[in-house]
Structure 1
Amino acid sequence: MMAEITPPDPQTTETGTARYLLGMAVGFAVLLAVLLALPFNRYIAAQRAAGSEMFHARWVYERIHFDPAPIDVAIIGSSRMESGISPSLLQQLLSAKAGRTVHVANLSVVQAGRDYHDLLVHDLLNAHPEVRLLVLADDGFMVYSHPMFQEMASPGQIAAAPLLVNKFYFTNLLAVPYRNLLNAAGQVAPGWFGVDRNFRPAAYLGTGLDRTLGYRLPDGHWRNGNATMPLAQMQARAQANLATQNRFTISHLPFLPEEMQLAIDHHYMQSIADLARQRHVALAFVGLPMFGPADLPRNPRYFSRFGPDFLPTAWRNDAALYQDDTHLNRAGAILATRYLADQLAGLIPPARPATQGTTHGR
Structure 2
Amino acid sequence: MPTTATTDAAPAGRLAGGWRTTAAFAGVTALSMVATLVLMCLLPHSDYLRYIRADETQQYPKTRWIYERIHFDPTPIDVAFFGSSRTGGAIQTAIVEEALAREGIAAHAVNFNLPQMGRNLHYALVKELLESRDVPVIVLEVTEIAERHLHPQFSTIADAGDILEAPVIGNLRYARDLVALPGRQLDLFLRSLPQTVGLEPAPRFEPGQYAGANLDRGDVLIDAEGNRKSRDRTMPEAELRAAARRFQAGIDDPLLPEALAEVEFGANRFYIRRIIALARAHGTRLVFLYLPSFGAPPEPAERSVWGGAGPVLTVHPLVQESHLWLDETHVNWTGSQIVSRALGPMLAPYVRPDLDGTP
Which bracket does the TM-score occupy, shorter chain normalised?
A: 0.7 to 0.9
Q: Would you say 1:17 and 2:35 are equivalent positions?
A: no
- C-alpha distance in 1 between matches for 2:117 and 2:222: 20
**TM-aligned CA distance change 1:97 to 1:213, over 3 Å:** farther
TM-score normalised per structure 2: 0.83
**1:210-359 equivalence runs, <5 A:** 210-214=216-220, 221-223=227-229, 225-245=231-251, 247-250=252-255, 253-292=256-295, 298-349=301-352
Q: CA RMSD in A?
A: 2.9
Which deviates the most, 164-173 or 326-335?
A: 164-173
- C-alpha distance in 2 between matches for 1:95 and 1:43: 33
- C-alpha distance in 2 between matches for 1:219 and 1:161: 25
Aligned to 2:61: 55
Structure 2: gaps spanning 5 or more residues: 1-10, 196-200, 355-359
Which deviates the most, 39-48 or 307-316?
A: 307-316
Q: Contact 2:59 / 2:223 at 8 angstroms: preserved in 1? A: yes
Q: Contact 1:155 / 1:173 at 8 angstroms: preserved in 2? A: no
Amino acid in the other structure paired with 2:212: G
How big is the shift at 1:335? 1.1
**TM-aligned CA distance change 1:141 to 1:55, over 3 Å:** same
Aligned to 1:187: 192
Q: In structure 1, the residue corresponding to 2:351 is in which secondary structure?
A: coil
Amino acid in the other structure paired with 2:57: G
How big is the shift at 1:270? 2.2
Q: In structure 2, the residue corresponding to 1:40 is in which secondary structure?
A: coil
Amino acid in the other structure paired with 2:321: D
**TM-aligned CA distance change 1:21 to 1:228, over 3 Å:** farther
Aligned to 1:42: 47
Q: Contact 1:242 / 1:295 at 8 angstroms: preserved in 2? A: no
Q: Would you say 1:136 and 2:130 are equivalent positions?
A: no
Q: In structure 2, the residue corresponding to 1:345 is in which secondary structure?
A: helix
Q: Would you say 1:66 and 2:66 are equivalent positions?
A: no
How big is the shift at 1:69? 0.5
**TM-aligned CA distance change 1:21 to 1:236, over 3 Å:** farther
Amino acid in the other structure paired with 1:94: L
Q: In structure 1, the residue corresponding to 2:184 is in which secondary structure?
A: helix
How big is the shift at 1:53? 1.7
Q: Contact 1:83 / 1:224 at 8 angstroms: preserved in 2? A: no
Q: Contact 2:99 / 2:343 at 8 angstroms: preserved in 1? A: no
- C-alpha distance in 2 between matches for 1:311 and 1:257: 29
String of CA shifts for 1:257-280, please: whole Å, max 9, x gaps: 444433223322222222322332
String of CA shifts for 1:58-81, please: whole Å, max 9, x gaps: 111111111111011111111111
- C-alpha distance in 2 between matches for 1:260 and 1:219: 28
Q: Would you say 1:155 and 2:166 are equivalent positions?
A: no
Aligned to 1:357: none
More helix by share: 2
Q: Contact 1:53 / 1:217 at 8 angstroms: preserved in 2? A: yes
Which deviates the most, 174-183 or 310-319?
A: 310-319
- C-alpha distance in 2 between matches for 1:212 and 1:76: 17
- C-alpha distance in 1 between matches for 2:304 and 2:33: 48
**TM-aligned CA distance change 1:270 to 1:153, over 3 Å:** same
Q: In structure 2, the residue corresponding to 1:74 is in which secondary structure?
A: strand
**TM-aligned CA distance change 1:95 to 1:257, over 3 Å:** farther
Q: Contact 1:118 / 1:268 at 8 angstroms: preserved in 2? A: yes
Amino acid in the other structure paired with 1:292: G
Amino acid in the other structure paired with 2:294: F
The runs of at least 4 consecutive aligned structure 1 residues that moved more than 6 Å come to 215-220
Aligned to 2:5: none
Q: How many residues are aligned here?
A: 336
Q: Contact 2:58 / 2:226 at 8 angstroms: preserved in 1? A: no
Amino acid in the other structure paired with 1:291: F
How big is the shift at 1:15? 4.2
- C-alpha distance in 1 between matches for 2:250 and 2:50: 32
String of CA shifts for 1:57-111, please: whole Å, max 9, x gaps: 211111111111101111111111111111010011102212x421111111111
**TM-aligned CA distance change 1:288 to 1:217, over 3 Å:** closer
Structure 1: gaps spanning 5 or more residues: 1-6, 352-362
- C-alpha distance in 2 between matches for 1:137 and 1:68: 25
Q: Contact 2:290 / 2:316 at 8 angstroms: preserved in 1? A: no
- C-alpha distance in 2 between matches for 1:146 and 1:280: 26
How big is the shift at 1:150? 1.2
- C-alpha distance in 1 between matches for 2:241 and 2:254: 23
Q: Which has the larger radius of gyration?
A: 2
* Identical-residue share of aligned pairs (%): 30
